[in-house]
Every structure is written in structure tokens, then in C-alpha cells.
């Protein structure tokens, strides 16, 4: 049994008005075709939905139940259509975003704020991985976009767009001889004990080692950690310093100060990119890219 949306709308109008003439006027049609439509609907349902009298019509018990269900069906149908249109426009849906750990304190919150304000129907699901892993996931389609560190050795099958660069700073314990200074040259840290990330863990670990070598020294390793919170924990304990993205200044552990580095060195600049799948057409991703204002690299 197939009952059209129009038939449900006609019956709901009659149920609301309890009068065929008023319902016909509301539907902008004449009374005889509406009467015939309701009769066809009753035959399709197989029960009497209306009690007729000279003064109008009244719903039967079955008619009242059918009217309630018809209203819900019409609301659900309209909602489904609107939801499909919003998803097609990129205004609603699930957005799977990957990011490297170092972007969790500034770039990721910025993205979430933009989506919350401009695309409130979008639900964001976050995943943290290395840049290389993020590229693989975007290429495979398990992530919609990723926020990664550039340059990327392998970017086949993905598009890259540049996001604002970030500088490295030095995290020192409060009370350290440099903690009151506004900036410091990297060479001034040659006698310091460092907390480091393993090179294999992220590009940041490699950049720190390279920057120190270019400044003329190899950092003395006092501690290691597999993430920025661990580095800051070592610094907070007072035993070492660490090179970290300047954005972590907003979330440093108690007893830690982040000081700018005065050196002009590419190894002290963290380049960030937005990764999306090449050739993919996704209105939601396109809107996010436009919100971030990124510049295409590939």
C-alpha cells in the first residue's frame, strides 16, 4: 500500500479543520476533489477515518491515531529533505580530522571554533597521529582532512594547502637564568640539559636536533618524552629545557616559561599544512578549507 505525501497533507488538513470546505480552502482546492481524495485514502488504509454529518466531519478513533502518525511522518519527511540538503551544502554531517600533537593547542582549537560558529551542524571527530600517518589516512579516505607538518616526503594522492607558520621557542623552568628575558639565541643554550622528543616520533624531534647542530652544538640529553606534555613536565621539574612550539605558552605546566628564540633559522620555523584527498568532491571539506583561508601548495 502506497500513500503519497499529498494524501497525508490533505488528511491532516481535514483532521485539523474538522470541515471539508475549510480544509479545501486551506489547501487551495475545491471541495469535491478533496472529498474524493479522502475516500481513496480510507480505501487504501482499509478503515473509516471520518464520521460524516451535515455539520461537518469528525475523526474516528482510528482517524485520530492516523492523523497523529501522519503529522509525524510529514515532519520526519521534511526534516529528512532539509538534512540531505544541508549535508549536500556542507552545512551538516561528520568531519573526521587528523592532526599532529603540536597543533592541539592553537590550530586545532581555531578550526573547532570556526566550525562551531560557522557550521554548527557539523560534528568533528579528532584523531592524533604523525604527519606521515595522517597522509596515508587521508589518501585512504579514513580521514576527511588532516593538519600536518610540512614538508611531507610523500604527498601523492593528496592536496596540500599552507596554513600559518609557527616558531619554536625554548621552555625553561621559572627561576631559570633566562626566564626573565624576552628572547634568547639558540647558542646560549649549548650548556643546558635538554628534554627531547625521539626523532622517530615526529618531525619536531628532527627539527630540534638539526637547529642545534646549525647553532654549533649537539644538545645534551637529560630526558625524553613522547609528547609535548611530557617535555613540559620535565621542564617543570626543573632539570632541563626544551624547544617547543610557541603556541604551547598558552598551556604550559606550572613553573614553566616559554621564551622566543631570536635566531633566523628555517629549522626553528614549523610549517603547517592542511591535507585533503586529491580529486575528492566534498562540500563540507570545501567549506572548512575556505574557513581556514589556506593557500594551495599542490
The matching CATH number, chosen from 3.50.50.60, 3.60.110.10, 3.40.190.290, 1.10.287.1770, for 165-270 is 3.40.190.290
Question: Which three cell numbers mark 147?
Answer: 593538519
CATH 3.40.190.10, domain 94-164+271-296, yes or no: yes
Rg (CA), the chain: 32
Burial string for 170-200 (b: 16+ CB within 10 Å, else e) reads: bbbbeebebeeeeebebebbeebebbbbeee
pLDDT digits (tens, 9 = 90+) for 10-35: 999 999 999 999 999 999 999 999 99
Task: Bin 279: left if φ > 0, else alpha if -120 < ψ < 50, else beta.
Answer: left
> What's 178's DSSP letter?
T
**Nearest CA among 282, 7, 283, 228 for reference residue 103:** 228
Furthest C-alpha separation in the chain: 102
**Residue ranges covered by each domain of the chain:** 5-88, 94-164+271-296, 165-270
pLDDT digits (tens, 9 = 90+) for 151-201: 888 889 999 999 998 899 999 999 999 998 999 999 999 999 999 987 655
In percent, how much of the chain has pLDDT > 70? 96
Pairing of strands 242-245, 256-261: unpaired
pTM: 0.71
What is the dihedral angle through the alpha carbons of 205, 206, 207, 208, rounded to the nearest 10 degrees?
A: 50
Fold match flag (94-164+271-296 vs 165-270): yes
**Rounded to whole angstroms, how far apart are CA atoms 251 and 92?**
31
Angle at 20 between CA 17 and CA 22, to 5 degrees: 55
pLDDT at 295: 64
Is residue 102 scored above 60 in pLDDT? yes
| Domain covering 5-88, topology | Arc Repressor Mutant, subunit A (1.10.10)
Beta bridge partners of 145: 97, 276
**Nearest CA among 50, 4, 57, 6 for reference residue 28:** 6
pLDDT at 86: 73
Contact between 18 and 58 under an 8 Å Cβ cutoff? The reply is: yes
Question: Which three cell numbers mark 141?
Answer: 579516505
Amino acid at each position: 500500500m502506497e500513500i503519497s505525501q499529498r494524501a497525508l497533507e490533505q488528511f491532516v488538513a481535514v483532521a485539523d479543520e474538522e470541515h471539508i470546505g475549510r480544509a479545501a480552502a486551506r489547501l487551495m482546492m475545491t471541495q469535491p476533489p478533496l472529498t474524493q481524495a479522502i475516500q481513496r485514502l480510507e480505501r487504501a488504509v482499509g478503515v473509516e477515518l471520518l464520521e460524516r454529518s451535515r455539520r461537518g466531519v469528525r475523526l474516528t478513533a482510528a482517524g485520530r491515531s492516523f492523523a497523529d502518525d501522519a503529522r509525524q511522518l510529514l515532519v520526519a519527511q521534511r526534516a529528512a529533505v532539509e538534512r540531505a540538503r544541508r549535508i549536500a551544502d556542507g552545512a551538516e554531517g561528520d568531519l573526521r580530522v587528523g592532526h599532529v600533537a603540536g597543533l592541539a593547542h592553537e590550530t586545532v582549537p581555531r578550526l573547532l571554533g570556526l566550525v562551531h560558529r560557522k557550521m554548527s551542524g557539523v560534528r568533528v571527530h579528532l584523531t592524533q597521529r604523525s604527519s606521515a600517518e595522517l597522509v596515508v589516512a587521508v589518501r585512504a579516505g579514513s580521514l576527511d582532512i588532516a593538519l600536518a607538518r610540512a614538508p611531507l616526503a610523500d604527498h601523492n594522492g593528496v592536496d596540500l594547502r599552507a596554513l600559518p607558520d609557527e616558531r619554536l621557542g625554548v621552555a625553561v623552568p621559572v627561576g631559570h637564568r633566562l626566564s626573565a628575558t624576552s628572547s634568547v639565541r639558540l647558542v646560549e643554550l649549548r650548556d643546558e640539559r635538554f628534554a627531547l622528543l625521539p626523532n622517530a616520533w615526529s618531525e619536531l624531534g628532527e627539527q630540534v636536533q638539526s637547529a642545534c647542530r646549525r647553532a654549533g652544538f649537539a644538545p645534551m640529553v637529560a630526558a625524553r618524552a613522547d609528547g609535548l606534555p611530557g617535555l613540559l613536565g620535565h621542564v617543570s621539574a626543573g632539570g632541563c629545557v626544551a624547544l617547543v612550539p610557541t603556541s604551547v605558552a598558552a598551556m604550559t605546566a606550572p613553573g614553566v616559561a616559554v621564551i622566543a628564540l631570536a635566531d633566523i633559522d628555517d629549522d626553528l620555523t614549523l610549517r603547517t599544512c592542511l591535507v585533503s584527498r586529491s580529486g575528492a568532491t566534498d562540500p563540507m571539506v570545501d567549506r572548512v578549507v575556505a574557513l581556514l583561508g589556506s593557500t594551495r601548495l599542490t
